Amino acid sequence: MTGPIPSHMPPDGAPGDLALPDREALARSLLFAGCSPEQCEMALAFAFVTHLPHGALLLQPGEPNHHVYILVEGQLAAFLDADLHKRAARFVPGDCLGEHALIGPEGGTTYVVAQWPSRLVALDAARLRTVMESVPRIALNALDMLSARLRAANLRHDPEEPARLDFMASHDAVTGLYNRRWMMPAYAAEIARCARDGEPLCLALIDIDGFGRLNQALGRLAGDAILRQLADLTRNLLPSQDMLARVTADRFAMLVPASLADAVAICDRLRQHVGGRQFALRGHIGTQITLSIGVAQARENLEATLAQAQAALERAKERGRNTVEPPPG
């Protein structure tokens, strides 16, 4: 591939730079129902426009969300399953999405996908909460919307829902890997097992070099495709006792029951294997990626071990990326 795949959609707008139709859509939305123009103006300062091409994911389980959205043009739908077969809701211009971000960034329980090319106004949830302190009407509107969502969820209750929620709580929605929430008990159990059996244990942080720029240039769907392929490739290369989790957008954590030297060697084989292959994006189009990996000897405390692995990862980045490093010193 010689260049980025165009998304055919305009880039995000600047905060506060809204056209008249965007301002009118915000003022007419349920979120701002009953608010005066002056009260709406308080949110306009940090509102911005974003676009979604057909088929793009806006929200998905397990992915943090920091924005509330108002649909201006297009159509979106919410699905209960990653295969997008079980539709739970449809959104048309004027509807609000992502209001659960006002409670916290942990994300919702559905996959929200653009069914048509769509234009939305996005509002930073943390700043909107600040506005709510002086405009309680917005908070009451948000409570009404969240209550309506909860009633709808109760009406479509699925007997398999508890198992699905349990899976979502411990797994990453994009890759199917474990997530950071799972790591705390799993790490403690693995530390105890290695201590009992007299085995060494290391933790590796695996980072995709330049993933932010890649994701921006190719689009989120292409970025997710790369993440899934990397996750599958890594799982296939690891011994069965190694454990892999996605801990941030472009970063994976791996527990390796081996000495530091052996863990570095294992990670370097992974780095070389990934750097020598094409990752499919659309049809026959592909791209290559490189990995920077930091490896640290496991300590009893997970956060202390992650800090050591992070220092090793930063060392790998400083040395030009596409390398594997132990902690400095």
- Find, among 124, 295, 321, 79, the residue nearest to 214 by Cα: 321
**Token couple for 23:** 């301002």
- Find, among 216, 211, 208, 221, the residue nearest to 285 by Cα: 221
- Indicate the domain borders of the chain: 20-155, 171-325
What is the CATH code of the structural domain delimited by 171-325?
3.30.70.270
Q: Please give the pLDDT value at position 2.
A: 32
**Token couple for 163:** 């198992």
DSSP of 256-283 = E-S-HHHHHHHHHHHHHHHHTS-EEEET
**Token couple for 61:** 């389980």
Task: Tell me how far CA of residue 109 lies from CA of 47, 115, 237, in angstroms.
Answer: 25, 19, 31
The amino acid occupying position 310 is Q
**Token couple for 131:** 């506005």
CA atoms within 13 A on the CB side of 121: 28
Threshold 0.75, pTM exceeds: no
What is the CATH code of the structural domain delimited by 20-155?
2.60.120.10
The amino acid occupying position 249 is A
- The C-alpha atoms of residue 313 and residue 323 are separated, in whole angstroms, by 9
> pLDDT tens across 64-114, in order?
888 999 999 988 998 887 778 788 888 888 888 888 888 877 767 788 999
Task: Tell me how far CA of residue 234 lies from CA of 23, 61, 240, in angstroms.
Answer: 46, 23, 11
> pLDDT tens across 259-275, in order?
999 999 999 999 999 98
- The C-alpha atoms of residue 3 and residue 217 are separated, in whole angstroms, by 9
Helix (H, G, I), strand (E, B) or coil at 17: coil
pLDDT in tens, the chain (329 residues): 233 333 445 677 888 888 898 988 888 888 888 889 898 889 888 999 999 888 888 888 877 888 999 999 988 998 887 778 788 888 888 888 888 888 877 767 788 999 888 999 999 999 999 999 999 988 888 888 877 767 665 544 555 555 555 556 677 878 888 888 888 888 988 899 898 889 999 999 999 999 888 877 777 778 888 888 898 888 887 776 668 898 887 899 999 999 999 999 999 999 999 988 888 776 556 788 999 999 999 998 999 999 999 999 999 999 999 999 999 87
List phi, psi (to 5°) of 160. -90, 0
> pLDDT tens across 15-36, in order?
888 889 898 888 888 888 888 9
- Find, among 109, 135, 110, the residue nearest to 123 by Cα: 135
DSSP of 21-84 = HHHHHHHHSGGGTT--HHHHHHHHTT-EEEEE-TT-EEE-TTS---EEEEEEES-EEEESSTTS
**Token couple for 255:** 């527990």
- The C-alpha atoms of residue 278 and residue 270 are separated, in whole angstroms, by 14
